[in-house]
Structure 1
Amino acid sequence: MGKYQTFLALAASASLLAGTCVLPAAYADEAKPAQVLKVDMGKTTGKFLGGASGTLYGLGDEGSPTDAILDGARVENSSQKPPTGSQHPSGDALALENQFFANGGRELAVYMQDYYPDWSYNHGSRPGDDRSYVTDVPVSDPKYGTYTDQPNGRWDYGEVVEIVVNKILSQSEHPDQYTFIPFNEPDGGNWYYTGDDAQNPLFKTTFLNDWDADYQLIQTIWQQYKTGEKPSKVRPTAAHARIAGPGDSSFRQNRSEAFLRHTKEAGTLPDIFVWHELGKESLQNYRTHYANYRALEHDIGVPARKINITEYGELRDMSVPGQLVQWMSMFEDTKVQAETAYWNYAGNLSDNMANANAANAGWWQFKWYGDLRGDQTVQVDSDHRDKIDSLQGIGALDTANHKGTVLYGGANDENADQVKNTGANIPVTVRLTGLDKAGFGSTVDVEVRENAFTGPDGIAATPRVVNTLSNAQVRNGTLDVTTTSVDRYASYQLVVTPHQDRSLRTDDQLGRNLQVAEAERTHLSGGARAYDKTPSGNGWSYFMTSGNGDVGNFKDGATADWEVQAPADGRYRLQVISGNAGFPGTNQVSVDAKTVGELNYHAELAMKDAAKWLYRGSAQLEMNLTQGRHTISIHGSTALDNTLDKFLLYRVPGDRDGTSDAVDYPAAQLRLVDGASLDFSSEGTRGFADLRSGHARAFIHAWSQGYHTIRLVYRAAKGTPVAVNLNGKALPGITAAYSGLQSTSLQVALSEGINSLDLSGSGVSLRDVQVAASKDLRHSAIALQAEDQQLNGGASVITENSSNAENHQYVAGLGNQFATTESGPAGYGDRTRVVVADSNNKPQVNTHNVGVMTIPAGAVPRGDYMVAVRFSNDAFIGRHDYNPQIVDLGLQIRQGNAHGPELARGSFRYTYSDTSFLNRSLQVSTDGGALSLGNWDPAGTGKGAVSWGVAPNIDSLVFYPETIGTPTSEDLESRPSEPGSITIHAPGLAQGQMTLRKGQKSQLTAVASASTSIGSKESSDASITWTTSNPRIATVDPQGMLSALEIGNCTITASLGKASSSFRLQVIPATSESGLTPGTPGHASSANDPQAKPGPGAKAEGRKDQASRLSSTGSAVMLILIATVVLAGISIPAFLAARHSRGKRS
């Protein structure tokens, strides 16, 4: 197993008594010392703010992103454009406010200057009195805010401010939650560009006077609505309008001081102080800027202001969890709000989500951070404080749930060669202290999850459990947890709780193994070429690449060969992270020279040079593999010139009930609200979620849309009701069929990507939610091709062989139609179909031939459905220096004809090409009659980009009945015990790794830990099955005798039922072959080498055995490594006797 090609499982190191837990692990590079993050759970630093999950233009329109994505990410604050602002075509604050505040949002800010269409605003020059705006008609009048090019004695921008404030306060349903930002980067290219020169009259006189005028105008209008002088939907209640500024492009010491002194004297102090931290240098300098600002407040006598860093980070940081956690940690540490910068397009959380409804790794980082809302932060110390690209973290204590959380990432190699500075296989030790003061008791459980980088548009599945400690002994309030970091771009979530009544197992132990390779480290041929990339690239416009490299020139005839080790026969999912140039395509895949299918890529962002081939997405392909070594080959295509960044191979375990790919969401991972909390007071339900009158919410990942089995494991009295809500829709409730521990399973339709599952029920103690794909229910869905339906008006069928539409046909022209023109040269994403628009970016729309698609009556019977719409959207309005001016399009479904009642509506994101289709789901309840699809919104109503009445292209629709069958239950109190986890014991086995010399043998033993209704019980079991990933390198006989045959690496697995455990075996040359003694350069030191010295993470266990010499025949000595074990009810002599007895039988 090489540096770039590893089984991803992680090592745990802790100072423990009997009951130690050690995991199978990707090897830690012994040349890399452990990096330490110190977390004092006994020292709180204040209430968790959660403000660093802000975004700039993270929302496009209502429904873009979806509710599940937005709720999961818990975006605390966002800055958007003003109503009818023309700087960007989407992101209208009024259009999205209800969705934002319904999904965890707290504060919505408005970039008021974004009313202007150009960047820099008004061509960079401060406007004068050149226009006359219409402000003497009701705000609802379409003429309000229009203008003529003639002076009227008022400052033009003052009129714009008046228009913006009036539109918001007259129409908003949440006026108190708005923040007004009058100026954006006034120190830079916008009107007052004097840098940090506070004495320049352009700042000292012009800007400060303009600030005062706008501040006072906003407050005057606020009072008019607060007193009811002006009519509004909802009257403001706050004493005054919340205003933020000055909004400089970076922290300006001199300007900030002059601004504070002036506004204090003038009575125009902002409520929120704003500046930007955009470059990577901010990771080093931000805390100094913060301290300097607070010192200014103190020196000038200004009460402490809230701070919002309304733009932070570079392109290289977005979607990269190991980068995002560094920014979030310093902003949370200083308790400020902060918003990810807007480098690309609106509506995708600043590149921190994928596709139409899926997570990338950045989204999971947002979700983990948002889960801390309500906690207290605790003291975190890194040895690399204020260092660019380094190990950083956030610690939090949830006293109500007896849970501690640490989010961390960014550990790097600290060398000058940036290409080699990947941070791969670095052991990171989280040193937990103060656990006694925080009330965790003497033993705890720990789970560590890994969130690995998958690119901006690459799908990231539910983070894998890579490390566990069960019933770990806490000494003096301290516990070390060491996990090998896959690379510097991943983030990690560590959760510590008192001991729980459930088995803790890693994904590898559950059969969900993962192998990863950097594409540039595979065998390349046929012209494919590996390219080195540095983490910094060429500044803000650089996209990060996994492993600091990728593969280019991947065209027809090119091949990338990846050697993998399948640990068992079965189903596997290959995922390739790849970038292309703006159109869909395929790569053929073969295994051992036999074709197994195609990877189907959708188009990626390519309309700006910085994004071409670097804005990465993903494609997936499932295949069957037999146990052992295989070569997976990715082949270039004549129709696709793509880059390759990263390969991932997931094992997809199946089950006897027809489900596959099961994932557990334990109670400690659920979002508990409204009084629901973890309970550790009663044996049998320790660590369960007592729902009381509250809710438990899981954010569930589905690789593809369709039916899944949701299994709830809980304790309740017979007859107790449990309410189930999926993606905002109430499903038929369930009732506890038994008293005590039980499970209830439902067959439900899930959307592709992220789904929100909400559970409630007084008297219910929830242990976990288990989700698995149901493969035998697809026949229950109704699949319809768009081109087969009745089309009217401007709707028509388009045939395009290069499209990824099914049958290469789709329907275009639904709703109104934009007038478009082709722009740019053909090929590689350079040609764009641009909507014809005027100087204010108002599009030209044909409203006289509304396109409608009709599904005939009876095609979809009466019922409740999740309908998956396969769509494309290539709408693009206006131009901008760096923001692609994409538009969300709207689709509505009506019962009967175009005049019937509306059943569903949604916003459909930009898909980079009209020939590239994605999936997005809606919920529909129909009476069985005809269904009409289109967009009937009046064009130009001014509420968001979807208001132009244009619908997306449609390829197909699949109607899934929301649920299938009736819930099934199982009494777990009376069910026989099942294997919960397996512990492997062997001489020299440490941290999931073992080394033998060629020709040596070693006796393996295993202990199975059985799950019961109240926890786990261990026993030695003779039914263990032993397997090897590569019998050429090593074999294991049925009695567990391991034989090292050839030099190399392989994985040894013990399994019993659903439980399994693995370790990595390295076979090195025999002494006579190498002429070297153990421990010399070129050889890995190992515990079964008598002269080897323990490595930095080695345990002291088995020293007597380590001192024994191995005979020339390779007789093994016994070094017992205790892992994931609690000796519940079995004495040590009984355990040894059982093992001895089994040995005699063999």
Structure 2
Amino acid sequence: MQHRSSEGRPKRVWKRVTAGATAAVVTATGLMATTTSSAAAADPEVLAVDLATSTGPFRGGASGMLYGLGDDGVPTDAIIAGARPTNITQKAPHGEQHPNGDPLDVEDAFFAGGGEYLMVNIQDYYPDWPYNGGRRPADFDSYLDIVRTVVTSIVEESNHPEKYVFTPFNEPDGGNWYGNWSTMRGTFLQDWKAVHRTIREVYPEARIAGMGDAAWRPQRTREILEFAQANDVLPDMFTWHELGIQNLATYRSHYHAYRQIEADLGIAPLPVNITEYAMRRDMSVPGQLVQWLAMFEDTKVDAQTAYWTYAGNLNDNMAKGNAANGAWWLLKWYADLTGDTVRVTPPQLDTADTLQGIATLDEEKAQATVVFGGTGSDVRVDLSGIDAGVFGDVVDVQVREAEWSGQEGEALAPRVVAAERVAVAGGSIQVDVPNDDRLSAYQLVVTPAQDERPAVDTTWRAETEAEDTALQNVQVYSKPMSDAWTFAASGQRDVGSTNQAGSSLTWTVDVPATGTYRFGVVAGVNGPEIGPGRHALFVDGTRAATVEYEAGFSWAYRGRAEVLVELTAGRHDLSLRMSADGSTLLPGSDISLDRFDLALVEGPEKATYPASLARLEGATVNYGGSAPDGSVRIDGDGAAVFYVAARDTGYYDVTLDYTARAATGVGLAVNGRAVDGLAAAGAGERASTARVHLAAGISELVVTSGGGIDLSSLTTERATDGDAAVLRVEAEDGLELHGAARVDGVAQPTNVSGRKVGWLGGGTANHGVWARPAEAGAGPYDLVVRYANADKNTGHAYNTDVISRFLDVTEEGGGTTRGAFRHNYSWNGYWTHTVPLDLTTSGGALRFGNATGWAPDIDWFALAPLVQGVTNESATPRHGRPGGQPGSSPGRR
């Protein structure tokens, strides 16, 4: 065993804005900074952004993914729409490569969420990998029959066949039929011609992609294009993969070589899709993925993250079924970009694992945005070319951090880590961003001075690497980012072998105030073998809390656990122990530990989302007029779309802060469900609040107003007193069971609350009935279900092949609602999932089952009214508006 000790210094303490200190320094070029930076003494790395030099319209095509969607409802619509992948590749319809991911099941949610086209790997009709045992069928007509079947399925069964792109061959240069080019060249070329013509015979309007090589192959590419041009079988889109770490350095040369081949052959430039990119170590990591996004956006191609773990979770770039991780927020930031991209000069171009970025300028919104990351050093963003006609002489700067939270670690809305109002000199400013984490990415937004001054999140917070604590009977493991196949770890190390009663990690913290603190752990649980686990948290030698971990994919695939603890101001020894009594090992304690964080809890959870940063549909941002600067004008068919994050499933007060020009109604939709009653009684500054039930994770909130409002912000605030309206029922107590459905105990380790109900579904006979109480009348509800589903197809040698399960809830005298429940690794471990449920009768019983397959096991369920009430009030007038001051916002609107 390896033993290490240290003083347990926090990795980072987030600085509050105080006299003489700020979280970042923002200055006009050539002016002396009057504040002190918390950055290290070492010179920062410089990212130069020239807003005056456009590099073309923002494309946004690098948001694609291979097998990123699983089933209808997995992921949820809000998760898909927030990340907004413009292109995806799924298996062939009715194909056997995966038990989920059928494009006909996921297409509606994908296209509704902003998807532009859906690619299909036709060879995924085969169940095995490599396809057909890696051998080209001796009777190639049998494959042409598969091609006809796949294309016909899409033409006849899809609601959107015109939005599909067909990929006949996936990785033909590898183990899939045509690896030896010297012997298979002629065969491939004739097969390509036959497949191309077969697709067009079935569907003349079809778009066809190729060649799909697993790596950039210049000679193959030239010969294929030359043949395809001569035989009138050119692909409509050219594809290949960029996967390895060094592809971050070599991709641009590959792209330019491809375009040169087209030019040499006289072929007009084809759309390009890099149909797989990045390695396992990159997935879920904002600071890694931003490097890939930057170079693909720079060359204006589409691209899709690779599939390494399992289908249906955005390739590790989301958490659970409905939550964001750090990478999801990066994808959302990327999807939020609008306008033109502008020139970005990083410290090093075409160098793997370095600072890179994307910048856009949207003159209509008067907003410049820079998304960057990839370094463990402080960053200075040099912004030049700031047009006074767009921004005025004074600008507001905000910087948010998307911190790595693990693959299954839920991440709330990124914190504002730097904010300042600064005068522009010579069209330039500098922004210094303290950073010591190469896994983080940042979003920097510049606008004209707004009605509300930007402010830093002042919450006290500290982080500690697990390997930097005093260790007892545990093991430190190396997780180097130089290994493309390893899952990422903060600090590139973690602590494991936590499997002895004497195992512990101890460190010291110094907290600023007496109060409640949230202790968080980024950890990996080997769920299939262990299930959910527990550790004991000791404060100054006394047991203070039990940390409960939910089951996961593996020790290296990380989630997040949290617990509240009371601390007095000053120094404390924290100790995470695998035994509560020093002799008995806690169930499921063998958990890898990566990073700890501690944050002061000051009041209920609250988050404010500026309207100017919402996705705007037919709405405009106000500057220089009678409306508050930075507010959003919403009228007619216009809308502002917000993606809000909730830590807990429960009630939140959603408040709209706006100015009305006359009496008007205000629309609010929560995940597509309307909330009635919000309105302004007359002109003036208003605040309308709806108490609504939100699922843990991400919800889409859409604000409209036919009569017109100027929306400044949307705020969510946890309202725990509203939770008393929730009807929670233990499944074993509340369900009258029929058929094979039965109550069972659950083996340790488990996080079940009592016993569970299993064997629901698999036919109409196996179901449970809940006699709905009188207080649960007709109306919109959320049905919250605590469930387990570890079902998967174990017959595949390569794919994880997880299986979603579905629960059908039928209201007696009403309709049936289907809820989709993602695989959650362990039959002993339970997650919570929320299903929208609209009831139409006064008290019809609810029937739980699944006539077409097995339902998940159920621990408990709860019924919560979607809306508890609304209020509409006059708001306190705003102060500190910059209008009329020297350097105020331009009067361009």
- Short-chain TM bin: over 0.9
| Greater Cα radius of gyration, structure 1 or 2 | 1
Partner of 2:394: 443
Partner residue of 1:14 out of 18, 23, 26? 26
* 1:261, distance to aligned residue in structure 2 (A): 0.2
Counterpart of 2:469, as a letter, is T
Within a 5 Å distance, the mapping from 1:981-1060 to structure 2 comes to 1012=879, 1014=881
- C-alpha distance in structure 1 between counterparts of 2:572 and 2:562, whole Å: 18
Encode CA deviations 1:361-394: one digit per residue, 9 max, x unaligned.
Answer: 111111110111x421111111211111000000
Partner residue of 2:154 out of 168, 183, 186? 168
User: Is the 2:276–2:306 Cα contact (8 Å) retained in structure 1?
Assistant: yes
* 1:307, distance to aligned residue in structure 2 (A): 0.5
- C-alpha distance in structure 1 between counterparts of 2:335 and 2:847, whole Å: 36
- C-alpha distance in structure 1 between counterparts of 2:121 and 2:650, whole Å: 40
Partner residue of 1:854 out of 756, 770, 773? 770
Q: Does 1:869 align with 2:755?
A: no
Cα gap change, 1:937 to 1:59, in 2 (>3 Å) = farther
- C-alpha distance in structure 2 between counterparts of 1:354 and 1:795, whole Å: 30
Which sections of structure 2, spanning at least 5 residues, go unmatched? 1-6, 16-21, 580-584
Cα gap change, 1:533 to 1:438, in 2 (>3 Å) = farther
Partner of 2:476: 530
Counterpart of 2:551, as a letter, is A
Partner of 2:248: 283
- C-alpha distance in structure 2 between counterparts of 1:389 and 1:369, whole Å: 19
* 1:59, distance to aligned residue in structure 2 (A): 0.2
User: Is the 1:18–1:1126 Cα contact (8 Å) retained in structure 2?
Assistant: no
Partner residue of 2:379 out of 417, 424, 428? 428
Partner of 1:560: 505
Partner residue of 2:613 out of 669, 675, 685? 669
Cα gap change, 1:783 to 1:171, in 2 (>3 Å) = same
Partner residue of 2:805 out of 889, 892, 898? 889
Within a 5 Å distance, the mapping from 1:923-942 to structure 2 comes to 923-926=836-839, 927-938=841-852
Partner of 2:3: none
User: Is the 1:741–1:971 Cα contact (8 Å) retained in structure 2?
Assistant: yes
Partner of 2:66: 56
Q: Does 1:695 align with 2:677?
A: no
User: Is the 2:649–2:696 Cα contact (8 Å) retained in structure 1?
Assistant: yes
Q: Does 1:742 align with 2:686?
A: yes
Cα gap change, 1:437 to 1:42, in 2 (>3 Å) = farther
Counterpart of 1:760, as a letter, is T
Counterpart of 1:221, as a letter, is V
- C-alpha distance in structure 1 between counterparts of 2:149 and 2:118, whole Å: 18
Partner residue of 1:613 out of 530, 547, 555? 555
Partner residue of 1:497 out of 443, 447, 466? 447
Partner residue of 1:190 out of 162, 176, 186? 176
User: Is the 1:61–1:92 Cα contact (8 Å) retained in structure 2?
Assistant: yes
Encode CA deviations 1:679-725: one digit per residue, 9 max, x unaligned.
Answer: 11225510111112311111111111001111211111352211000
User: Is the 1:408–1:491 Cα contact (8 Å) retained in structure 2?
Assistant: yes
Encode CA deviations 1:14-33: one digit per residue, 9 max, x unaligned.
Answer: 334999998886x4221x32
- C-alpha distance in structure 2 between counterparts of 1:635 and 1:409, whole Å: 35
Partner of 2:866: 962
Partner of 2:19: none
Q: Does 1:685 align with 2:628?
A: yes
Counterpart of 2:608, as a letter, is D
Partner residue of 2:199 out of 215, 218, 221? 218
Q: Does 1:506 align with 2:456?
A: yes
Partner of 1:521: 468
Q: Does 1:731 align with 2:742?
A: no
User: Is the 1:320–1:362 Cα contact (8 Å) retained in structure 2?
Assistant: yes
Cα gap change, 1:553 to 1:428, in 2 (>3 Å) = same
- C-alpha distance in structure 1 between counterparts of 2:847 and 2:285, whole Å: 38
User: Is the 1:502–1:1015 Cα contact (8 Å) retained in structure 2?
Assistant: no
Encode CA deviations 1:572-616: one digit per residue, 9 max, x unaligned.
Answer: 2111000121110111112222322222111111xxxxxx31001
Q: Does 1:265 align with 2:230?
A: yes
Within a 5 Å distance, the mapping from 1:648-659 to structure 2 comes to 648-654=597-603
- C-alpha distance in structure 2 between counterparts of 1:874 and 1:14, whole Å: 50
Within a 5 Å distance, the mapping from 1:369-768 to structure 2 comes to 369-372=334-337, 374-411=338-375, 423=376, 426-436=377-387, 439-470=390-421, 472-508=422-458, 512-525=459-472, 527-537=473-483, 539=484, 541-555=485-499, 556-582=501-527, 583-605=531-553, 612-637=554-579, 638=585, 639=587, 640-654=589-603, 660-673=604-617, 675-682=618-625, 685-693=628-636, 694-761=638-705, 762-768=707-713
Q: Does 1:360 align with 2:360?
A: no
Cα gap change, 1:159 to 1:301, in 2 (>3 Å) = same
User: Is the 2:515–2:601 Cα contact (8 Å) retained in structure 1?
Assistant: yes
- C-alpha distance in structure 2 between counterparts of 1:859 and 1:685, whole Å: 44
* 1:877, distance to aligned residue in structure 2 (A): 1.4
Q: Secondary structure at the match of 2:234?
A: coil
RMSD: 2.3
* 1:919, distance to aligned residue in structure 2 (A): 1.3
User: Is the 1:684–1:1013 Cα contact (8 Å) retained in structure 2?
Assistant: no
Q: Secondary structure at the match of 1:15?
A: strand
- C-alpha distance in structure 2 between counterparts of 1:773 and 1:18, whole Å: 45
- C-alpha distance in structure 2 between counterparts of 1:479 and 1:467, whole Å: 14
- C-alpha distance in structure 2 between counterparts of 1:248 and 1:33, whole Å: 42
Encode CA deviations 1:303-360: one digit per residue, 9 max, x unaligned.
Answer: 1000011111111000000000000000000011110101111110000110121110
- C-alpha distance in structure 2 between counterparts of 1:22 and 1:755, whole Å: 41
User: Is the 2:664–2:682 Cα contact (8 Å) retained in structure 1?
Assistant: no
- C-alpha distance in structure 1 between counterparts of 2:887 and 2:539, whole Å: 42
- C-alpha distance in structure 2 between counterparts of 1:4 and 1:260, whole Å: 56
Encode CA deviations 1:629-672: one digit per residue, 9 max, x unaligned.
Answer: 22222121522200100111222211xxxxx1211111222111
* 1:493, distance to aligned residue in structure 2 (A): 0.2
Cα gap change, 1:716 to 1:902, in 2 (>3 Å) = same
- C-alpha distance in structure 1 between counterparts of 2:95 and 2:187, whole Å: 24
Cα gap change, 1:76 to 1:564, in 2 (>3 Å) = same
- C-alpha distance in structure 1 between counterparts of 2:776 and 2:740, whole Å: 24
* 1:207, distance to aligned residue in structure 2 (A): 0.5
User: TM-score of the superposition, structure 2-length normalised?
Assistant: 0.93
Partner of 2:743: 797
Q: Does 1:159 align with 2:145?
A: yes
Partner of 1:944: none
Q: Secondary structure at the match of 1:14?
A: strand
Q: Secondary structure at the match of 1:117?
A: coil
* 1:113, distance to aligned residue in structure 2 (A): 0.2
Cα gap change, 1:367 to 1:889, in 2 (>3 Å) = same
Counterpart of 1:201, as a letter, is T
Aligned residues: 862
Q: Secondary structure at the match of 2:678?
A: strand
User: Is the 1:903–1:924 Cα contact (8 Å) retained in structure 2?
Assistant: no
Q: Secondary structure at the match of 1:707?
A: strand
Counterpart of 2:290, as a letter, is V
- C-alpha distance in structure 2 between counterparts of 1:19 and 1:931, whole Å: 71
User: Is the 2:423–2:887 Cα contact (8 Å) retained in structure 1?
Assistant: no
User: Is the 1:854–1:930 Cα contact (8 Å) retained in structure 2?
Assistant: no
Counterpart of 2:481, as a letter, is P
Partner of 1:1060: none
- C-alpha distance in structure 1 between counterparts of 2:113 and 2:34, whole Å: 39
- C-alpha distance in structure 2 between counterparts of 1:935 and 1:681, whole Å: 58
- C-alpha distance in structure 1 between counterparts of 2:782 and 2:810, whole Å: 15
- C-alpha distance in structure 1 between counterparts of 2:887 and 2:218, whole Å: 58
- C-alpha distance in structure 2 between counterparts of 1:410 and 1:325, whole Å: 7
Identity %: 39
Q: Secondary structure at the match of 1:777?
A: helix
Q: Does 1:347 align with 2:312?
A: yes
User: Is the 1:741–1:1013 Cα contact (8 Å) retained in structure 2?
Assistant: no
Partner of 2:582: none
